[in-house]
């Protein structure tokens, strides 16, 4: 089956997002979700969450000996009620409302990621970060910033591995909540399979280039793209609201 230009663009977006998240533990949802949403709103949140889970599985399988399950457990437990709230929110809002919530959440995520807030990695901060990651991640598929904020004082490798472990357990919780609300179906699975090669290639490429990349220099580019995408999504939501 021939791929369209939009299919190839979606694969490129997924590959770049996966590379960023493989390096620093965050970036896939922040970069890929708004851009894929503009291509096809059906990519958010189900397929993005499924693809993110695939990456978490790859990272944890490779790095399982270098992470602390005990430390991340409070965040995993707190994700459960957060995910329920996120799924309930999706059921209650129209499509244009989702666009506005999505765009606003993305702008907030960009602000939080850009600023350097000094937060210690404690049981309480992990619990709060896990809850809001579940809430925002289930509703918009961008659950990285709340938990990454808690890990910003940690070593990059520790943060990447433990955030991957958090998403490995936490993302299926979000997916199950969405299934319960009939927000993930066969079409979501087919879209995920269509983009899965981007996950595998992005992960392979990220590991090949890991020693040559300065992840700090990639951050401004990521945030500029995310900001532009957020503004476009917000504009789309406002257009729908005015037309309603």
pLDDT tens readout for residues 167-190: 999 999 999 999 998 889 899 999
Global pTM?
A: 0.87
Residue 220 has which token pair? 């401004």
Of the pLDDT bands very low, low, confident and very high (cuts 50, 70, 90), residue 108 is: confident
Residue 244 has which token pair? 């309603």
Q: What is the pLDDT of residue 237?
A: 83
> What average pLDDT score do residues 81-97 get?
88
Does the pLDDT value for residue 75 go beyond 90? yes
- Provide the 8-state DSSP code for 25: S
The Cα 12–Cα 38 span in angstroms is 14
- Highest average pLDDT, of 112-116, 150-154, 228-232, comes from 150-154
Does the pLDDT value for residue 29 go beyond 90? no
Least confident of 73-82, 129-138, 152-161, 221-230: 221-230
> What average pLDDT score do residues 200-218 get?
79
Does the pLDDT value for residue 222 go beyond 70? no
Least confident of 57-66, 124-133, 150-159, 213-222: 213-222
Q: What is the pLDDT of residue 18?
A: 94
Q: What is the pLDDT of residue 217?
A: 59
Does the pLDDT value for residue 219 go beyond 80? no
pLDDT tens readout for residues 141-171: 888 888 888 887 888 788 888 999 999 999 9
* Residue 83, burial from CB neighbour count under 10 angstroms (0-12, 13-18, 19+): buried
> What average pLDDT score do residues 207-225 get?
70
The Cα 113–Cα 144 span in angstroms is 10
Produce one character per residue of 100-126: b if its CB has 16 or more CB atoms within 10 Å, e if not.
Answer: bbbbebbbebbeebeeeeeeebeeebb
Q: What is the mean pLDDT of the chain?
A: 87
């Amino acid at each position: 089956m021939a791929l369209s230009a939009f299919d190839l663009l979606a694969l490129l977006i997924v590959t770049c997002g996966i590379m960023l998240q493989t390096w620093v533990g965050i970036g896939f949802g922040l970069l890929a979700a708004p851009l894929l949403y503009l291509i096809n709103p059906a990519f958010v949140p189900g397929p993005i969450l499924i693809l993110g889970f695939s990456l978490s599985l790859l990272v944890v399988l490779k790095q399982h000996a270098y992470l602390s399950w005990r430390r991340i457990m409070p965040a995993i437990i707190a994700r459960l009620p957060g995910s329920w709230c996120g799924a309930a929110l999706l059921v209650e809002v129209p499509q244009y409302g989702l666009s506005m919530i999505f765009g606003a959440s993305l702008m907030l995520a960009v602000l939080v990621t850009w600023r350097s807030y000094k937060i210690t990695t404690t049981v309480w901060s992990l619990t709060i970060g896990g809850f809001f990651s579940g809430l925002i991640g289930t509703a918009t598929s961008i659950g990285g910033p709340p938990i990454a904020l808690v890990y910003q004082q940690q070593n990059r490798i520790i943060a990447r591995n433990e955030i991957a472990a958090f998403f490995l357990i936490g993302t299926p919780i979000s997916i199950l909540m969405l299934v319960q609300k009939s927000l993930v179906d066969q079409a979501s699975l087919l879209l995920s399979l269509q983009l899965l090669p981007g996950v595998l290639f992005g992960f392979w490429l990220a590991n090949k280039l890991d020693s040559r990349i300065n992840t700090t220099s990639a951050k401004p580019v990521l945030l500029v793209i995310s900001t532009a995408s957020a503004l476009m999504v917000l504009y789309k939501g406002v257009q729908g609201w005015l037309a309603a």
